[in-house]
Amino acid sequence: MRIAIVGGALQGMESVYLSKKAGFRTFVIDRREDAPALSLSDDHAVLDPVTDGKYAMSIFEGCDAVLPACENMDLLCSLQKLLSKSEIPLLFDMDSYMISSSKSASNRLMEDAGIPIPKKWPECGYPAIVKPSSQSGSIGVTVAYNENDISNGVKKVMGIGDEPVIQEFVSGKSVSMEVIGNGKEFRSFVTTEILLSKDYDCKRVRCTPDILTDEKEEEFQMISEDIAESISLKALMDVEAIDTENGLKVLEIDARIPSQTPAAVLAATGINILKEMIIPDPRAYENMDSGASSYEHFVIKDGNIVTCGEKEFSHVRAPRIVSGLFGSDDMITDYEPGSKIWRCTMINRADSEMELERKRSECIRSIMNVCGLNEFIDPSPVIS
């Protein structure tokens, strides 16, 4: 099995990692010569399918499927057009993506479907959150405590050419779940927990059996599958929510391959969500492991090791996947002995959360000892 992955940034790295774990060969395409997923893949090409569709098709014709690992609409439309008359599967659902890529549109859909979402502003009061409708991650996000903050947040969003969405700031455990659909049948998987860096970017993903109660786990699966059904999902989607004191509140949906969470699910359960898209195993959920995993970004600089969000990690250069480095199960890293500045994503698995935390601590300690570092710094958002 050979997979063409279009996009060499964070989603591309995730796609290559999952493909390798599934035993697939990978061919990554990106227009940037320094896209980090290029060095992880078996083969790669620097090109833009939007402007060089003929060259791109010559690559796709040697592959069994094409996976977009990008969010550029021109590129996504070009891929759909290029492959429309081909029998090569495009592992992507444009109709669902068009809904999920707009928080305004997806919020309306979820509200109509009775999905629990945060209250609208100004009914919700403060704190509120101002975010762009069409961006992913923490791009353009502002936490607002007064009208001046709201105004500044709106200007920030409009400054990047987007539409502001203003909602209740809901606090609690940040959770995520993947769903695969074929337009008629939908399968959800397991909950992961998202831990945020100081700038509200994802710094760590945990996948353990006790993130939610059994009752809430079942509820989250039902919510995720209900959303998938409401958009007739024909590929992969992830659902992000907050486990609040008043129940689960869905923040957003993304109908494309996510970064970070699938690798954590694979490490903890043995379920490879990318493989499930291509070669479905109806009994995968029944046969899954019940371990615990951690997927975490670090930057090493100024003599310290610091947890960081995925935007900071994306500056990694020519990374490779290394098993066993510093005692971890896997690392995606540009580390070289003697490096003063380097980055890594550390992936660990254990049979219990206690054993997982011990393993993680030992890995961090090993990095500090080998590299002669002064301090481990783990910043998080400060909410007053």
Q: How far is CA 8 from CA 107, 147, 173, 241, in A?
A: 29, 40, 30, 27
Please report the pLDDT score of residue 319 as a whole number: 98
For the cut 60, the answer to whether the pLDDT of residue 384 exceeds it is no
Determine contact, residues 255/239, Cβ cutoff 8 Å.
no
Residues 250-286 have pLDDT tens digits of 999 999 999 999 999 999 999 999 999 999 988 887 8
Q: How many CB atoms lie within 10 A of CB 119?
A: 13
For the cut 90, the answer to whether the pLDDT of residue 199 exceeds it is no
Closest by CA position to 363, among listed 336, 334, 337, 325: 325
Confidence of residue 135 (pLDDT cuts 50, 70, 90): confident
- Distance (Å, whole) CA 65 – CA 71: 18
Q: Which residues contact 85 (CB under 8 A, 6 or more apart)?
A: none
For the cut 80, the answer to whether the pLDDT of residue 98 exceeds it is yes
Over the chain, what is the mean pLDDT?
A: 94
Residues 210-250 have pLDDT tens digits of 999 999 999 999 999 999 999 999 999 999 999 999 899 99
- Distance (Å, whole) CA 105 – CA 101: 8
**Amino acid of residue 89:** P
Determine contact, residues 134/161, Cβ cutoff 8 Å.
no
Determine contact, residues 337/346, Cβ cutoff 8 Å.
no
For the cut 90, the answer to whether the pLDDT of residue 337 exceeds it is yes
Please report the pLDDT score of residue 142 as a whole number: 85
Q: How far is CA 118 from CA 107, 255, 312, 363, in A?
A: 9, 20, 28, 38
Determine contact, residues 360/296, Cβ cutoff 8 Å.
yes
Please report the pLDDT score of residue 383 as a whole number: 58
Quick one: average pLDDT of 156-178? 92
Give this prediction's pTM: 0.93
**Which tokens belong to 186?**
């939908």
Please report the pLDDT score of residue 137 as a whole number: 63
- Distance (Å, whole) CA 93 – CA 136: 17
| Structural domains present in the chain | 2-92 (3.40.50.720), 119-168 (3.30.1490.20), 172-190+198-278 (3.30.470.20), 292-377 (no CATH)
